[in-house]
């Protein structure tokens, strides 16, 4: 059963705003289930009144008998019953032949229900796309195979074959099958979103006044972004096994080589020491106003694995006031920067870890951030990159 919280969708007042014909048609395939839960659905077109209170209680309290496909439908309709979901659905169906009727006072769920009944894959895709632009940490992997081959967006049959291999791995790791790979070609990058399950979870619930257990498989979204200029992917995934899975399978299906992404991209923080405050200049980067260093960490090691951490609103300003510099000795292993982008009212944080990990607040900051890191020397360039 899908994990879902239907508090938005299941309020009686909100249910009453949905066109009853659409709502009944949506629920009608599960009439037997609702009857067993004490909800008798009227026949479509009969004009009979729905028992909204009883329906609300049934939706708020799913149990082990709730059909999996009903749980899926309720989950996606609920997730897309927001202003953001309403707007994205309207935009997506504008030039299609979907037969949708939306009045001036229609509820968000009214549109989500109609689109779901006619094009489930469209709703799933729009829902998935929302997960592309959330704060996350990325690890970078690149090819060491010399020149980077031309990349074309993979056809549907390639994606299906990739999903089959991902399913095999997820099943062995007790995460279930039925993974889904969504492809989002952008101007300079190609984005991939992988939806898959996590290991089963157990939650205690109350049913008929008694304590009971409800088991479900949580849903997870991983993001993989390919840079065709450098032959590099950055990925956000939870475990080392998942990262190795994406690194090898994406290489196999897109370039015919499981070890195509066989090298870690390397970040270094030494420019902070070597050139000091000039390492955070951004006058040459379109879209950036200013950068401030707000934290760095130096690893001293020893038997206690000593790490020196320094924080300030503006570390270089603080160092100037005290006529000091970042101390020598021990590698810089982590630094956090506050970056003011021209299109944003508030500054956002970038964290770089020596190795191959970067964390930033919005995925669509990536292109600007990566250009800045390259120009300032935080990305270690191979000889074939030409230092560009």
How does pLDDT run across 75-124, given as a tens digit for each residue?
888 888 888 889 989 999 988 888 888 777 778 888 999 999 999 999 98
CA distance 348 to 359: 11
Percent of the chain past pLDDT 90, that is, above it, reads: 49
State mean pLDDT over 145-174.
91
Q: 192 has which bridge partners?
A: 183, 224
Q: Where are the domains of the chain?
A: 12-132, 136-255, 270-376
Residues 182-217 pLDDT 10s: 999 988 889 999 989 888 776 676 666 667 666 667
pLDDT of residue 385: 47
Mean pLDDT of the chain: 86
Residues 323-356 pLDDT 10s: 999 999 899 999 999 999 998 889 999 999 988 8
Task: Note if the pTM is more than 0.75.
Answer: no
Phi, psi of 42 (to 5 degrees): -65, 155
Q: Residue 113, Cα to own-chain centre: how many angstroms? A: 24
Evaluate if residue 318 carries a pLDDT over 90. Answer: yes
CA distance 62 to 60: 6
């Amino acid at each position: 059963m899908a994990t879902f919280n239907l508090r938005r969708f299941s309020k009686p007042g909100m249910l009453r705003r949905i066109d009853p014909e659409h709502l009944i048609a949506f629920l009608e395939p599960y009439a037997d289930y609702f009857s067993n839960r004490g909800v008798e659905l009227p026949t479509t077109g009969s004009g009979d009144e729905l028992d909204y209170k009883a329906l609300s209680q049934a939706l708020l309290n799913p149990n082990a008998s709730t059909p999996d496909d009903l749980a899926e439908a309720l989950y996606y309709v609920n997730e897309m019953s927001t202003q953001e979901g309403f707007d994205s659905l309207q935009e997506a169906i504008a030039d299609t032949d979907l037969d949708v009727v939306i009045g001036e006072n229609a509820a968000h769920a009214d549109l989500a229900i109609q689109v779901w009944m006619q094009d489930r894959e469209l709703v799933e895709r729009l829902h998935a796309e929302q997960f592309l632009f959330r704060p996350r940490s990325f690890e970078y992997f690149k090819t060491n195979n010399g020149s980077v081959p031309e990349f074309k967006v993979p056809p549907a049959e390639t994606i299906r074959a990739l999903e089959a291999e991902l399913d095999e791995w997820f099943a062995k790791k007790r995460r279930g099958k039925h993974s889904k790979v969504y492809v989002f070609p952008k101007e300079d990058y190609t984005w991939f979103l992988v939806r898959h399950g996590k290991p089963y979870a157990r939650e205690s619930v109350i049913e008929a006044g008694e304590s009971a257990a409800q088991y479900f498989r949580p849903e997870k979204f991983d993001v993989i972004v390919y840079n065709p200029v450098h032959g590099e992917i950055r990925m956000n995934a939870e475990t080392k096994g998942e990262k190795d899975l994406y690194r090898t399978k994406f290489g196999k299906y897109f370039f015919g080589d499981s070890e195509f992404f066989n090298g870690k991209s390397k970040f270094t923080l030494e420019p902070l020491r070597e050139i000091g405050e000039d390492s955070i200049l951004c006058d040459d980067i379109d879209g950036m106003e200013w950068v401030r260093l707000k934290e760095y960490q130096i690893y001293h090691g020893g038997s206690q694995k000593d790490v020196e951490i320094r924080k300030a609103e503006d570390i270089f300003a603080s160092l100037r006031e005290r006529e000091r510099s970042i101390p020598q000795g021990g590698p810089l292993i982590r630094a956090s920067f506050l970056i003011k982008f021209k299109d944003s009212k508030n500054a956002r944080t970038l964290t770089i870890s020596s190795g191959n990990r970067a964390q930033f607040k919005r995925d669509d900051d990536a292109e600007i951030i990566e250009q800045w890191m390259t120009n300032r020397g935080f990305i270690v360039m191979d000889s074939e990159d030409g230092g560009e």
